[in-house]
Structure 1
Amino acid sequence: MANYPVVVYGASGYTGMLIMDWLIDQNIPFTAVARSARRVQEMMAQRVVRLESATYEIIECEHDVDALTKAFTGAKVVCNTVGPFVNYGLTTVEAALKAGCHHIDTTGEQEYIRAVRDEFGELYRQAGLLVSPSLAYMYSFAEIAAELALEHPGIDALETSTLCRGPREGVAGVTVGSTASIFEMLRARQHYLWDGKLKEHPAHTSFQITSPHFMQPVFALPWGGTSLPIYFENDPRVRSCVSCVGFYDNNVMQSVHQLGYKWEEEYKDLPRTHQDAVIRQVVESTTPSMPPRERTTQVRMVDTAIGRGQLSAVRAEVFGTTAYIATGALQAAAAIKLIDGETHKVGFASGSKAFGHRYLLGFLEERGLARASVTRL
């Protein structure tokens, strides 16, 4: 049973520790939950900033509904970082509901997000609780940009791009968990929103993003479709939403794209256990260990939303730095509101709809993590 208002589940992972950094910064007591208490203690001692001033406890717990329900009971908010979420996420969502907790997480895995909405959205609403996937750099920054564009009358179609540079070229610096989620997308269907309905992207869809901030076009992919088409599907303001992700290193993104072709040719029809082995091998070869903490001098992002109406257009951009650190800040920003009972929505809702995109943007801006710009076209 948790003695503090916030649970960080997946506490020994990279993102979980960054969430704890921000909870400590905001003087919020927390319960760290993971499969191994010893691993959590070791990693917190190495990685968590200002740990000596924290109020916290550690609970060791297996990943099943009953055990997690017991561990979460007593808290108000569960911050979940355990992925790939399409494999593990719904167990945690169910446990948080049974424990009477709000549930927020850090993934943009579209298949999982649709399942959360369809299987748990109404149950959470009836319980007066919020379930909000994807409250993280990806794709909260892009959603904030989209909401800034939607502030302008007449906008009803959105195109968003999430463009990132890591500490080294390409996807280097991405965490083990994120890498696993990326390659899980190889066997997932990817959707965009068109005229109010979800449509599946054709196989091997890609984009060439021309941005005024780069000398060359950036090669981008649907990246599982992202969370945005799901969050805007039932939004009366929005008819269409197409989203993509690109890293500044086009060669690396092309390699990821080619792996999609290889999957279709060699692995698509294999039994799931064989596919699991392939994904594990790719993850281990790509991201063998936890990366170092991000540096603001190296990790840069720009998320853009182009909003169109019949005769109007607007370009909203959110410039950012240190994507994972910003994710920890977003989780803490949400926890503050939920502890105080301040949410605009219960049930299934995005971070921007639950707390307001201006609140999230302001929290990031005040901490040097983001800056927004809006231009009428």
Structure 2
Amino acid sequence: MAKYPVVVYGASGYTGMLTMDWLIDQGIPFTAVARNAKRTQEMMAQRVVRLESATYEIIEAEHNVESLTAAFKGAKVVCNTVGPFVNFGLIAVEAALKAGCHHLDTTGEQSYVRQVRDQFGELYRQAGLLVSPSVSYMYSFSEIAAELALETQGIDALETAAMCRGPRESAGVSIGSAASIFELFRNEQCYLWDKKLVAHPVTASFNIVDPNFIQPVFSLPWSGTSLPVYFEQDSRVRSCISSVGFYDNNVMQMVHALAQKWEAEYKHLPKEQQDAVVKSLVESTTPSMPPRERTTVQRSVDVAIGRGQLAAVRATVHGVAPYISTGALQTAAAIKLIDGETNKVGFASGSKAFGHRYLLGFLEQRGLARASVSQL
């Protein structure tokens, strides 16, 4: 049973430890939940900033509903960072509900987000609790940009792009993120068109032309992202197409080629053989946990183009250190939930639950983001 108001599940992982950094920064006591307490303590001692000043505990739990429910009970909020969420996420969502906790996570894996909405959204609403996937750099920054664009009257169609430094840059991606990327090959990727989710073709890609870059940024649907799912029930929005690109076009083209190879060679294999393929891809691209991000290197640009019958607007959110920003967003959301301040219960995005201006302000005050809006 948790003694403190916030649980960080996946405490020995890259994003989990960055979330703890921000909880410590804000003076929030937390319970770290992981499978191995000794290893988690060792990892935290190496990587969590100001751990000596923190009020915390570590609880061991197996990844099943019964064990996690017991570990989460007593807390108000679960910050879940254990991915790939399409494989592991629903167990933690169910456990948080049974423990009477709000549930936040960090993924935009669209198939998982749709499962959370369909299987747990109403149950969380009835319990007066929030379940909010994708409270993270990707795709909260793009959603903040989209919401800024929607402040212009008449906007009903959105195109968003998240562009950041990629796997060959110095800090790379975490092991969990790499696994999630390759899991995308197994699942349908949808965009929102005229109020309906429509599957992207397997070959879908985008060349994003943006004034922040000299060359076009090669981008992919990246599961379709969480945004079309969140905007599907938004009366303001008819269409939403979202994509992700890294500054290193070669990396994105390699991922695109792997998706085509998956479709041609692996799609019809038994799941056990597919699992082995995904495991080998992760091990070959991300053999170990990357070093901590540097704001001088890890930078991002998220853009939302909004259009209506005559209205047109561009909103841009510039950012630094996406993983560090993810920890900040998790903490910003946890603060509101601890205080009982949420605009929504049930299934809702971070921007709809807490307000995009609140999230943006939290990031701006800590030097992690700045936004601009221009009419087109």
Give the TM interval when normalised to the shorter protein: over 0.9
Partner of 2:164: 164
Write the deviation string for residues 272-295 of structure 1: whole angstroms up to 9, x where unpaired.
110000000000010000000000
Partner of 2:203: 204
By how many angstroms is 1:296 displaced?
0.4
Whether the 8 Å CA contact 1:222–1:245 is kept in 2: the answer is: yes
Matched, 1:53 2:71: no
Inter-CA distance 2–288: structure 2 relative to 1 (3 Å threshold)? same
Whether the 8 Å CA contact 2:171–2:292 is kept in 1: the answer is: no
Partner of 1:70: 70
Whether the 8 Å CA contact 2:167–2:251 is kept in 1: the answer is: no
Partner of 2:140: 140
Whether the 8 Å CA contact 1:315–1:374 is kept in 2: the answer is: yes
- Matched position secondary structure for 1:333: helix
Q: Aligned equivalents of 2:66 and 2:213: distance in 1?
A: 50
Q: Aligned equivalents of 1:209 and 1:135: distance in 2?
A: 24
Partner of 1:286: 285
By how many angstroms is 1:228 displaced?
0.1
Whether the 8 Å CA contact 2:171–2:291 is kept in 1: the answer is: no
Structure 1: any 5+ residue segments left out of the alignment? none
Residue identity opposite 2:245 in structure 1: G
Write the deviation string for residues 165-204 of structure 1: whole angstroms up to 9, x where unpaired.
14843x9610000000000001110000000000000111
Q: Aligned equivalents of 1:89 and 1:200: distance in 2?
A: 23
- Matched position secondary structure for 2:69: helix
Q: Aligned equivalents of 1:258 and 1:154: distance in 2?
A: 39
Q: Aligned equivalents of 1:261 and 1:9: distance in 2?
A: 34
Residue identity opposite 1:163 in structure 2: M
Compute the TM-score of the two structures, normalised by the length of structure 1.
Answer: 0.99
Partner of 1:28: 28
Q: Aligned equivalents of 2:175 and 2:137: distance in 1?
A: 16
Matched, 1:79 2:79: yes
Whether the 8 Å CA contact 1:192–1:241 is kept in 2: the answer is: yes
Partner of 1:311: 310
Instruction: Map residues 1-377 of structure 1 onto 2, 5 A cutoff.
Output: 1-166=1-166, 168-169=168-169, 173-377=172-376
Write the deviation string for residues 4-48 of structure 1: whole angstroms up to 9, x where unpaired.
000000000000000000000000000000000011100000000
> Could you tell me the percent identity over the aligned residues?
78
After superposition, the CA RMSD in angstroms is 0.9
Q: Aligned equivalents of 1:172 and 1:264: distance in 2?
A: 30
Compute the TM-score of the two structures, normalised by the length of structure 2.
Answer: 0.99
Whether the 8 Å CA contact 1:167–1:294 is kept in 2: the answer is: no
Residue identity opposite 1:191 in structure 2: C
Q: Aligned equivalents of 1:49 and 1:241: distance in 2?
A: 38
